[in-house]
Amino acid sequence: MDIGMLWFDNDPKLDLPGKVAKAAAYYQQKYGEEPTLCFVHPSMLVEPKVKAGVVAVCTNSTVQPNHFWIGVQQNNNPSP
């Protein structure tokens, strides 16, 4: 993913898939395209593979905790 949207969510009432789904809904409304990939800080991912709808969730240590880098995956390569 080369271009994405940075989203912040520290709501303790939502789980990780819920937060990603909320960010994905905003992304789709704003850009008119459904996101497929979201990067989060490694400390936020407790299970190795998480999906929120069609959005795959991966880790990246450059993303700060409670932040979500969400966008559309390019060339089937989930690296930043």
| Structure confidence at residue 22 (pLDDT) | 96
User: Cα 36 vs. chain centroid, distance in angstroms?
Assistant: 8
- Mark 41-80 as b/e (b = at least 16 C-beta within 10 Å): beebeeeeebebeebbbbeeeebeeebbbbbbbeeeebee
**What is the per-residue pLDDT across 1-25, written as a single tens digit (0 to 9) for each?**
778 999 999 999 999 999 999 999 9
In the 8-state DSSP scheme, what is residue 70? Answer: E
DSSP string, 23-57: HHHHHHHHHSS---EEEE-GGG--SS-EEETTEEE
